[in-house]
Structure 1
Amino acid sequence: MVLLGDTVPEFKADSTIGPIDSFHKFCEGKWTMLFSHPSDFTPVCTSELGAAAKLQGEFSKRGIQLVALSCNDLDSHKQWVKDIEGSMSDGRRIEYPIIADPDRSIAKQWGMLDPDEKHPAGSSFAARCVFIVGPDKTLKLSILMLRPLLRVIESLQLAAKYPVATPADWRQGQEVMISPRISNEEANKLFPKGYRTIQVKSGKAYIRKTPVPDDESPAPKGGDATCGA
């Protein structure tokens, strides 16, 4: 099982765009989203990979490279891609790799196997997992759904670059919160767009909101995408 902050497991594998000789080299210096699926030629998985194909451009804008994994061999993947592109991707080509893991060795390394879902032959399927790997090859996020990923990634990237946090239900363009570790004096220097303090019943001035920082903001690295503690 890979834990948050761990360096992700190294592996090499065949994929639909060619061999990946080192997953660490594949990830190095880039944000990577690895998402797994139980099996080829299944309806939900087909729709999910089609949805990912539609969003390739949006992920690319945010500097995210996609890579999928399913516990089937490469020939199966290549046939499956034809189905996905023909029915679920609105005509968009799948440009991201789909990793072949027929012996489930990668799924085991990453803790993807679902103990409650079994193949007719008795082996476990891979669960629907999503892993966000940072440029330093460490695990930043793992979830079991493929939904608000763009928002989560934007939040992680902001927190990696600036001492801010994103509030619940945050969307791109909305205000973010300044980390409570930053004094008002520092905030005045680091956030040239200014900030506002939310009045709360306790009287404590710990909720400070500011427009989303940009490249002109001199804010140092540091922050927390969830709580800003």
Structure 2
Amino acid sequence: MYLLCARKPITRSSVRFLTFDAAKQPRIRIGSTAPNFVAPSTVGDLDFYKYLGNSWGVLFSHPADFTPVCATELGEFASLKSEFDTRNVKLIGLSADDLTKHVNWVKDIQDISLGGKKFNFPILSDTKKEVAFLYDMVTEEAFRNINKGPIATIRSLFIIDPTKKVRLVMTYPPSVGRNTHEVLRVIDSLQTGDKLGVVTGVNWKKGDDVIIPPSLSDEAAKEKFGNFKKVKPYLRYASTKK
């Protein structure tokens, strides 16, 4: 059984049993506080907030084990774990199958993508779709068919910052594999923006020029960034390279 709570510390008094009622489903948007939960995982029962600590997090979900697209995704995230580590980001997967299946699926993923190396981050078991409900991954209609096979809508990815705020939400169709490098690019952009008070343009990647927000005057921008390129009054580029 899962222990779930949206914003309160996990205690016996805060445990509640979820009914899959669309009117009661949390609405997860950019800026929402990521709901906490305790759920079984491949590394034991996992308290989400404690697992993240002061790190960023990427939570991404799958409707079932032994699915081809999802297997490639988990393998690629695992192979790039060192890249996420350098950005202070913790990975956590989720699948709506049980832990026994997870263990065997991980063996396949190690063979497919990791050259036999050990899989290196936890996968939640969400057999009752309760974390999926808590994170608004599944529609009310899907819950009416909850015991009739995989729920294709459990294909969401969340980037969560150290304050437990949701910074990005992406939901993929089952036929389209995620772009792990896009997830890294977004994290680089968010972390750069938080640090420097800037935004980033189309196809931006780490090291490229950033955009100075219109709220900053030219004088303040020059003091902060030195020389900058002014394309339009509202579009000004600055370098982050020293």
Query: 1:1-229 alignment to 2 at 5 Å?
Result: 1-20=27-46, 22-113=47-138, 115=141, 121=148, 124-145=151-172, 146-147=178-179, 148-192=182-226, 194-198=227-231, 200=232, 205-212=233-240
CA–CA distance in structure 2, aligned partners of residues 88 and 196 of structure 1: 43
Q: CA deviation at 1:123?
A: 6.6
What is the aligned partner in structure 1 of residue 15 from structure 2?
Answer: none
Q: Percent identity?
A: 36
For residue 7 of structure 1, what is the amino acid of its counterpart? T
SS of the residue 1:164 aligns to: coil
CA offsets, 1:27-81, max 9 Å, x none? 2321100000110011111111111111111111211110000011111111110
For residue 32 of structure 2, what is the amino acid of its counterpart? D
Q: CA deviation at 1:104?
A: 1.0
Is 1:28–1:137's contact at 8 Å kept on the other side of the alignment?
no
For residue 19 of structure 1, what is the amino acid of its counterpart? D
CA–CA distance in structure 2, aligned partners of residues 43 and 101 of structure 1: 19
CA–CA distance in structure 2, aligned partners of residues 92 and 213 of structure 1: 37
CA offsets, 1:129-173, max 9 Å, x none? 110011111111100242111111111111112121101111221
CA–CA distance in structure 1, aligned partners of residues 149 and 88 of structure 2: 39
CA–CA distance in structure 2, aligned partners of residues 213 and 173 of structure 1: 7
Q: CA deviation at 1:122?
A: 5.3
For residue 190 of structure 1, what is the amino acid of its counterpart? K
For residue 134 of structure 1, what is the amino acid of its counterpart? D
For residue 56 of structure 1, what is the amino acid of its counterpart? K
CA–CA distance in structure 2, aligned partners of residues 56 and 120 of structure 1: 33
Is 1:71–1:125's contact at 8 Å kept on the other side of the alignment?
no
CA–CA distance in structure 1, aligned partners of residues 134 and 53 of structure 2: 19
Q: Structure 2 stretches of 5 or more lacking a match?
A: 1-26, 173-177
For residue 138 of structure 2, what is the amino acid of its counterpart? L
Q: CA deviation at 1:119?
A: 6.9
Q: Normalization by structure 1: what TM-score?
A: 0.82
Is 1:151–1:171's contact at 8 Å kept on the other side of the alignment?
yes
For residue 59 of structure 1, what is the amino acid of its counterpart? F
Matched pairs, number:
207
Is 1:67–1:98's contact at 8 Å kept on the other side of the alignment?
yes
Question: For the aligned residues, what is the CA RMSD?
Answer: 2.1
Is 2:207–2:241's contact at 8 Å kept on the other side of the alignment?
no
CA offsets, 1:100-135, max 9 Å, x none? 111111111111126569677257345211100111
Is 1:27–1:133's contact at 8 Å kept on the other side of the alignment?
no
CA–CA distance in structure 1, aligned partners of residues 149 and 204 of structure 2: 43
For residue 24 of structure 1, what is the amino acid of its counterpart? Y
SS of the residue 2:38 aligns to: coil
Q: Structure 1 stretches of 5 or more lacking a match?
A: 215-229
